[in-house]
Amino acid sequence: MGTLEIVFSGGNPLLRDDIDEILAYASKFFVTTIYDNGSLAAEKIEALRHADFVAISLDSLNPEKNDYLKGVKGAWQKAMESIQTLKENGILVSVSPTISQYNLDEILGLTKYFVERDIPVWYCLYSYDPPESTARSFGIGMKYDDYTITDKGRIVKLCYDIMEMRHKYNNILITTDALSALVNLYSTGKRTWKCRALQSFMVINHRGEVSGCHLHESVGSIYDLPHIWNSSKLNDLRRKYRECNRCTYLCYIFYSLHGNIIGNFQIIKEHWKNAKLLIPARRSPKGHSSTSRPKNFK
């Protein structure tokens, strides 16, 4: 089916006892990314050696604010220690803050802090599942007033500031198109993209059920997928999803923008310098990257 990348997200996929086996198998065929909030990564180093990218979610450089956002005391400390440990072990670790109203003013500083220490930054955008989504594959986000982005001018400015910052730093892993889409969304309310759920991306839940995104119900199991991929039922759903505007999850926006040949070319054009991030991990046996010991960033 031409799939290039598989992303393990959660919840926390590292809670699985068999994550080592899953990552080892997946990484034979796909660029493999896994998310952790920093609570388990340091204990699962051997499993994570199989992944191409490990993204640690960290929302603030301020320990109290981060712990408040995560709802767990000590989360900041654990996440920072995990980032350090992964880097020391030659694992390609990145930091993934979720941009919300609560940390809007900190995103630039956090980005600068990590990219200057040679740790790539990739963003999530606070979004929540609409309450009417009953027949969904699984739930992710709930509406919470503290996080809902109300200051649209500030997020537009943040997008422009990140665009500017990307001239100086290579490893800010977002594209101009994605940032421009957010600028348009927050300044005019209009979407400059059509959703490409079930075309450029799909989700598979913990039961192996496939859906276009987590907000829609399953179309079948992973075993059915090769047989139904070109069916009229899925083509009808693709047309329906192209007109859908129910969510603003940044990963879905990103894959919608960059899931075709032109979009792929755009990523290559903007991020060819970052290819070196992936090449050492692929060239050496997994876990024996030649990455040198990082500067201590505590």
Q: Shortest distance, CB of residue 91 to ligand SF4, whole angstroms?
A: 30
SS3 233: helix
Q: Shortest distance, CB of residue 96 to ligand SF4, whole angstroms?
A: 18
CB-wise, 225 or 244, nearer to ligand SF4?
244
Contacting ligand SF4 within 176-235 (CB under 6 A): 195, 197, 212-213, 215-216
Please give the Cα distance from 244 to 196 (Å, whole number): 10
Burial of 142 (0-12, 13-18, 19+ CB in 10 A): exposed
Q: Is 247 in the site for ligand SF4 (CB under 6 A)?
A: yes
Could you tell me which stretch among 40-48, 49-57, 73-81, 245-253 binds ligand SF4 (CB under 6 A)?
A: 245-253
CB-wise, 47 or 185, nearer to ligand SF4?
185
> Which of 108, 228, 244, 267 is close enough to bind ligand SF4 by CB under 6 A?
244
Q: Is 83 in the site for ligand SF4 (CB under 6 A)?
A: no
Query: Which ranges in 99-249 belong to alpha helices (H)?
Result: 107-115, 152-168, 176-188, 225-228, 232-242
Question: Taking every pair of C-alpha atoms in the chain, what is the biggest distance, in angstroms?
Answer: 55
Q: Is 252 in the site for ligand SF4 (CB under 6 A)?
A: yes
CB-wise, 5 or 43, nearer to ligand SF4?
5
C-alpha dist (Å) from residue 236 to 120, 221, 229, 260, 263? 38, 18, 12, 19, 23
Q: Shortest distance, CB of residue 138 to ligand SF4, whole angstroms?
A: 13
Concatenated DSSP letters for 69-82?
HHT-TTHHHHHHHH
CB-wise, 19 or 247, nearer to ligand SF4?
247
CB-wise, 58 or 195, nearer to ligand SF4?
195
Q: Shortest distance, CB of residue 14 to ligand SF4, whole angstroms?
A: 25
DSSP class of residue 295 equals P
Q: Shortest distance, CB of residue 197 to ligand SF4, whole angstroms?
A: 4
Please give the Cα distance from 107 to 162 (Å, whole number): 9
CB-wise, 152 or 238, nearer to ligand SF4?
238
CB-wise, 75 or 195, nearer to ligand SF4?
195
Q: Is 246 in the site for ligand SF4 (CB under 6 A)?
A: yes
Q: Which amino acid is at 133?
A: S
Burial of 223 (0-12, 13-18, 19+ CB in 10 A): exposed
Partners of 56 in the β-ladder: 36, 95
Q: Which residues bind ligand SF4 (CB under 6 A)?
A: 195, 197, 212-213, 215-216, 241, 244-247, 252
